[in-house]
């Protein structure tokens, strides 16, 4: 398969002169190419019939264009990949079966035993487990650095450092990392910088514009927006994405996305700007409301001007997103009691859906950390995470309010 024909954002519908919202709907697709079908067809096929034995062999050898097996490429995924590359400002993208599929395919492609990956202090629980328990098992070294202090990164580099990896805003405690500052230092040391942009989405933040080499998403979240798929995405240069496709995806993980999932993701992405605007607006109101409650002891939301991360977030994001973390007086018992007292808001992991979801990271999304690691990496047992959904914000706040009223939490 040739790089220039697969998943490269370079055709006539990939016009940078259209605004983001227009490209989220139209990029890379012309209905005239598909019998006028407004929505692209779903190529629900595992394999592709070659024109001749030589043709199929040439495709395997990378000497001829085209699709030959859906673990490697498929026209429906190809369209999604072109569209996502366009929205991220990347040369190319790759769709995978899950966010963890994107992370593992990417890192398996780029590291060898003895290499070192420098990561921030806070990572999503399974990313942490993949690095610390998975890659470490194969001789890859993982070093944690507080990347909210870029000078600490410079001091941490070693001869073996190959990759600098971070989430911003970070799951679950909303640390915001200065992408330009960190990626510039990584470049000085010839390290590859990788940003997990799941919380922001390309509508709010495009890390490549700030110097990142690769951008990763759990597409399960805001990109889908409807809680009906599990998927992943990685974007970067055409060469690197082709390497991840032909090694990390094809040989190392096999984590291929279904064409049906690709279609549902494209449907979700059409409304990404509308949804993100609403998530941001509602989360800002909920964060202010929580901040004014006597029962809360800390609110982590970069939209609050009191947040330590407000200025860096305002510089690199066009909105502060829909995720909030907070702590209650009364610690973990109060947190669990509070979650159980909610009516409208569901207790569930995942995020970025239409439904407001609440969860307790220490026992759920970040349960892969030991108790000591949670203390070391700043994931308190008191922390509650809320993904503010698309319901009427007054109903969301009313539900939070009745839960505070119905359980007896100490006031400040
Ligand atoms: O493999 P997935 O599609 O679930 O994505 C993994 C992943 C990667 N990066 C970030 C920042 C994530 O938040 C996730 C998944 N997080 C969910 C959550 O925090 O609720 C997973 C539920 S256990």
Give the whole-angstrom CA distance, residue 173 versus residue 325: 6
Question: What was the pLDDT predicted at 7?
Answer: 43
Q: Cα(407) to centroid of ligand 1, in Å?
A: 30
Residues paired with 328 in a beta bridge: 296
Domain boundaries, position 295: 272-405
Q: Does some domain include residue 410? A: no
| Ligand 1 contact via 350 beta carbon (within 6 Å) | yes
C-beta of residue 229 within 8 angstroms of C-beta of residue 219? yes
Give the whole-angstrom CA distance, residue 131 versus residue 117: 9
| DSSP class per residue in 16-62 | TTS-HHHHHHHTT--GGGGTT-SSPP----SB---SSHHHHHHHHTT
Share of the chain above pLDDT 70, in %: 95
| Ligand 1 contact via 356 beta carbon (within 6 Å) | no
Q: Does some domain include residue 229? A: yes
Residues paired with 95 in a beta bridge: 233
* Runs of H (alpha helix) within 189-309: 201-204, 238-243, 259-270, 272-291
Answer yes or no: do 174 and 279 share one domain: no
Question: What was the pLDDT predicted at 410?
Answer: 64
Q: What is the mean pLDDT of residues 58-74?
A: 96
CA distance between the termini of the chain: 62
Give the whole-angstrom CA distance, residue 212 versus residue 314: 18
The pLDDT of residue 16 is above 60: yes
Nearest CA to ligand 1 atom 6: 99
Q: Does some domain include residue 292? A: yes
Tokens 């070093």 appear where?
143
Give residue 8's pLDDT band: very low, low, confident or very high (50, 70, 90): very low
The domain boundary residue, chosen from 227, 249, 267: 267
The domain boundary residue, chosen from 267, 290, 312: 267
| Ligand 1 contact via 224 beta carbon (within 6 Å) | no
Contacts of 61 (CB under 8 A, 6+ apart): none
CATH number at residue 356: 3.90.1150.10
Atom of ligand 1 nearest to the CA of 167: 11
| Ligand 1 contact via 128 beta carbon (within 6 Å) | no
C-beta of residue 225 within 8 angstroms of C-beta of residue 217? no
Taking the CB of residue 315, how many other CB atoms lie within 10 A of it?
12
The pLDDT of residue 385 is above 80: yes
The pLDDT of residue 287 is above 70: yes
Answer yes or no: do 37 and 63 share one domain: yes
The pLDDT of residue 6 is above 60: no
Answer yes or no: do 96 and 50 share one domain: yes
Give residue 15's pLDDT band: very low, low, confident or very high (50, 70, 90): low
Give the whole-angstrom CA distance, residue 408 versus residue 160: 53
Give the whole-angstrom CA distance, residue 58 versus residue 9: 24
Digit-coded pLDDT (tens) for 155-182: 999 999 999 999 999 999 999 999 999 9
| Ligand 1 contact via 100 beta carbon (within 6 Å) | yes
Radius of gyration for the alpha carbons in the chain, expressed in angstroms and rounded: 22
Q: For residues 84-111, b (16+ Cβ closer than 10 Å) or e, as one string?
A: bbbbbebbbbbbbbbbbbbbbbbbbbbb
Answer yes or no: do 108 and 213 share one domain: yes
The pLDDT of residue 3 is above 50: no
Question: What was the pLDDT predicted at 13?
Answer: 52
Just list the catalytic residues: 71, 124, 196, 221
Q: Does some domain include residue 102? A: yes
Strands (E), 134-221: 141-144, 161-167, 192-196, 214-218
Give residue 408's pLDDT band: very low, low, confident or very high (50, 70, 90): confident
Q: For residues 270-292, b (16+ Cβ closer than 10 Å) or e, as one string?
A: bbbbebbebbbbbbbbbbebbee
Total structural domains in the chain?
Answer: 2
Answer yes or no: do 288 and 326 share one domain: yes
Q: Does some domain include residue 2? A: no
The domain boundary residue, chosen from 215, 250, 267: 267
Answer yes or no: do 172 and 155 share one domain: yes
Answer yes or no: do 394 and 245 share one domain: no
Q: Does some domain include residue 411? A: no
Give the whole-angstrom CA distance, residue 396 versus residue 326: 16
Q: Does some domain include residue 98? A: yes
Give the whole-angstrom CA distance, residue 323 versus residue 302: 10
Give the whole-angstrom CA distance, residue 182 versus residue 161: 14
Give residue 235's pLDDT band: very low, low, confident or very high (50, 70, 90): very high
The pLDDT of residue 10 is above 80: no
Answer yes or no: do 37 and 64 share one domain: yes
Give the whole-angstrom CA distance, residue 397 versus residue 383: 19
Answer yes or no: do 255 and 277 share one domain: no
Answer yes or no: do 256 and 278 share one domain: no
Q: What is the mean pLDDT of residues 16-39?
A: 95
CATH number at residue 176: 3.40.640.10
Give the closest residue to 21 by CA, choosing from 212, 231, 196, 276: 276
Nearest CA to ligand 1 atom 4: 99
Q: Does some domain include residue 1? A: no
Q: For all residues of the chain together, what is the average pLDDT?
A: 95
Share of the chain above pLDDT 90, in %: 93
Q: Cα(153) to centroid of ligand 1, in Å?
A: 25
Q: Cα(54) to centroid of ligand 1, in Å?
A: 42
Question: What was the pLDDT predicted at 256?
Answer: 98
Give the whole-angstrom CA distance, residue 148 versus residue 392: 34
Give residue 378's pLDDT band: very low, low, confident or very high (50, 70, 90): confident
Write the burial class of residue 151 (CB in 10 Å: 0-12 exposed, 13-18 middle, 19+ buried). Answer: exposed
The pLDDT of residue 9 is above 70: no
Alpha carbon dihedral 243, 247, 250, 255, in 10-degree steps, equals -90
Q: Taken in order 275, 277, 279, 282, is the CA torsion positive or negative?
A: negative
| Ligand 1 contact via 99 beta carbon (within 6 Å) | yes
The pLDDT of residue 208 is above 70: yes
Total-model pTM: 0.96
Taking phi first (over 0 means left), then psi (-120 to 50 degrees means alpha), and beta for anything else, what does residue 331 get? left
Answer yes or no: do 283 and 263 share one domain: no
Give the whole-angstrom CA distance, residue 243 versus residue 318: 32
Answer yes or no: do 212 and 317 share one domain: no
């Amino acid at each position: 398969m040739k790089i220039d024909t697969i998943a490269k954002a370079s055709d006539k519908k990939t016009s940078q002169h259209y605004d983001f919202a227009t490209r989220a709907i139209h990029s890379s697709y012309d209905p005239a190419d598909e019998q006028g079908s407004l929505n692209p067809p779903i190529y629900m096929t595992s394999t592709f019939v070659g024109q001749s034995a030589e043709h199929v062999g040439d495709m395997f050898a990378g000497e001829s264009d085209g699709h030959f097996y859906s673990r490697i490429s498929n026209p429906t995924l190809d369209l999604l990949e072109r569209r996502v590359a366009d929205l991220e400002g990347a040369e190319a993208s790759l769709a995978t079966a899950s966010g963890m599929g994107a992370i593992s395919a990417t890192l398996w492609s780029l590291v060898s035993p003895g290499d070192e990956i420098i990561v921030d202090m806070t990572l999503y629980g399974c990313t942490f487990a993949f690095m610390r328990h998975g890659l470490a098992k194969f001789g890859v070294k993982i070093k944690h650095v507080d990347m909210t202090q870029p000078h600490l990164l410079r001091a941490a580099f070693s001869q073996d450092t190959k990759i600098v990896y971070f989430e911003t805003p970070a799951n679950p405690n909303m640390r915001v990392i200065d992408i330009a500052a960190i990626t510039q230092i990584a470049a000085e040391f010839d390290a590859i910088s990788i940003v997990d942009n799941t919380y922001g989405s390309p509508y709010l933040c495009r890390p490549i514009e700030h110097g990142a080499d690769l951008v990763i998403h759990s597409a399960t979240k805001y990109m889908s927006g409807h809680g009906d798929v599990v998927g992943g995405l990685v974007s970067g240069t055409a060469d690197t994405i082709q390497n991840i496709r032909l090694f990390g995806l094809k040989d190392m993980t096999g984590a291929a996305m279904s064409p049906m999932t690709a279609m549902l993701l494209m449907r979700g992405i059409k409304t990404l700007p509308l949804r993100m605007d609403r998530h941001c607006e509602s989360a800002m109101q909920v964060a202010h409301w929580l901040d004014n409650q006597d029962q809360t002891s800390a609110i982590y939301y970069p939209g609050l001007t009191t947040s330590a991360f407000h200025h860096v977030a305002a510089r690199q994001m066009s909105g502060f997103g829909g995720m909030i973390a907070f702590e209650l007086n009364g610690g973990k018992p109060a947190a669990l009691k509070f979650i159980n007292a909610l009516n409208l808001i569901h207790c569930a992991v995942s995020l970025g859906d239409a439904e407001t979801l609440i969860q307790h990271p220490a026992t759920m999304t970040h349960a892969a950390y030991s108790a000591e690691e949670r203390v070391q990496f700043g994931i308190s047992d008191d922390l509650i995470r809320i993904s503010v959904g698309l319901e009427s914000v007054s109903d969301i706040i009313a539900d939070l309010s009745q839960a505070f009223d119905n359980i007896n939490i100490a006031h400040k």
